[in-house]
A and B are shown apart, each in its own frame.
Chain A
């Protein structure tokens, strides 16, 4: 297989798997709470339904409101080309490193917040302001945790970091890596709107963040946004799974290795999804004013990760 084909293939795979991941988490959560729950493929049906529905747009909304879903979706799909989903080294490694990935994701968040403000509904503005608060607090943690990884690998390139851990397996248990994993896990929960920062299952509470921003959207716009949100979750899980424990990832582009990579990727995603489902069953949502405390704790983890990598250089 040509290495250049790998990019589109893994983007397509990510698009295909993302709704299933969200469905699987919901299903596992339901089973943990003794509910029967919707089947894991429910999000696919929801997406099909939303794509078929008509779009209702507020009279006050500008072009921004119509453009935002495409920007959010586009930037998230672009990220899937840069993340080591199946194989290292990536053909698009030269196009962007970990910093580009993080800021592409943030670009989507930024436009979503703008779109939340655009129609002038009170909920949208509230959600946008909260989302920006959380993003601004999660940002330094993410940057520091990346710095810790980059320091020990000697490169901010995602493929290099994964390859480095593959080459020296003890690296995976180095204190810097373990702490960076914990920090990025907390950031994942915050950025993808999971408990304890945001409750993904509610459309009613005054405390909602992500859902408040997208409240005005309907039809195919909503479908794109939901799909992008699922994709973002998948990207963060892939970063956690393939940067910190890259075993199973294909080093050569043979059909057998790629198939094995797909299998291990699915297992890693399910395992991380199980952890998230367990966490969400176990804990309650934090009050909004205590979210900064959680995020500064994760910032401290990231800071210690950098210092540990620095000490062991």
Chain B
């Protein structure tokens, strides 16, 4: 593959990953959010595999397969189960309304350009072109976490943040050693399980996963 094609594909792949993140801000339903996360993980796995193909590094292929398996299939199944348990509670009144959140999302992407401009200019890799978008997703997922009320949406925001960091690592350094990658996966899985337990507990206590309720003291 020629470097131009690689840089085009990495922009394309990171754009898809970022778009899935922005879809979280646009859509309201829990199912749509889970779908967006699944699509994002698949796009991330595809981008990783593309970089693996370009560099000829088997470790990246392994990471892509793990991504697809854990984040593309495993976690969405668990999320679906959680969604079924809590019914389809929709994100009806987020702290920031949908149209404004989308505009804020756009501004955050522009901010990411400013922040990563220097990083991109020192890098020589053809995949560097996608880095601002990955950084944009970091900001967008943080924004999802602080602007949404449902615990499930916030968990999804965290998972997307993790995807964003993985994308940044793949594009900026062509991947980190697989042993570190496996450690990260374990961390994510563990973090997800802890958060799942938390969400179940919140639901048990308040009969809702709206974190607004946590402001009130209860006996």
Contacts and interface: CB of A to CB of B under 8 A. Distances in A.
B8 A299 contact: no
A275 interface: no
B8 A300 contact: no
In order of increasing CB-CB distance, the 7 nearest A-B pairs are: A175-B12, A296-B102, A311-B129, A296-B99, A293-B98, A292-B99, A303-B106
A64 to B, nearest CB: 33
A299 B103 contact: yes
Given A293-B26, A296-B99, A307 B105 contact: no
Interface stretch (B14-22, B52-60, B63-71, B178-186): B14-22
Interface string B85-112: 0000000000000110011011001100
Nearest to A302: B106
B15 A308 contact: yes
Contacts of A52: none
11 contacts: A174-B8, A175-B11, A179-B15, A300-B22, A300-B105, A304-B19, A304-B133, A307-B110, A308-B15, A311-B130, A311-B133
A297 B102 contact: yes
Contacts of A307: 109-110, 113, 132-133
Contacts of A179: 15
Contacts, number: 55
A312 interface: yes
A110 B129 CA distance: 41
Contacts of A170: 5, 8
B196 interface: no
B11 A293 contact: no
B109 A303 contact: yes
Given A293-B99, A311-B132, A299 B106 contact: yes
A306 to B, nearest CB: 10
B5 to A, nearest CB: 8
Q: Is the interface of B mostly helix, strand, loop or mixed?
A: helix
Interface of B: 5, 7-8, 11-12, 15, 18-19, 22, 26, 98-99, 102-103, 105-106, 109-110, 113, 129-130, 132-133
Q: Size band of the A side of the interface?
A: 10 to 19
Contacts of B26: 293, 297
Given A293-B26, A304-B18, A307-B132, A299 B102 contact: yes
Interface string A281-313: 000000000001100110111011001100110
Nearest to B128: A311
B177 to A, nearest CB: 28
A300 B26 CA distance: 10
Contacts of A174: 8, 12
A293 B113 contact: no
A307 B136 CA distance: 11
A142 to B, nearest CB: 16
B151 to A, nearest CB: 23
Given A297-B26, A312-B129, A304 B102 contact: no
A300 B102 contact: yes
Given A299-B102, A311-B11, A312-B11, 19 more contacts: A174-B12, A175-B12, A178-B12, A293-B26, A296-B102, A297-B22, A297-B26, A297-B102, A303-B106, A304-B18, A304-B19, A304-B109, A307-B113, A307-B132, A308-B15, A311-B130, A311-B133, A312-B8, A312-B129
Nearest to A171: B8
A170 B4 CA distance: 11
A260 B23 CA distance: 40
Contacts of A292: 99
A257 B154 CA distance: 57
A174 B10 CA distance: 11
A296 B11 contact: no
Nearest to A304: B15
Contacts of B7: 312
Contacts of B133: 304, 307, 311
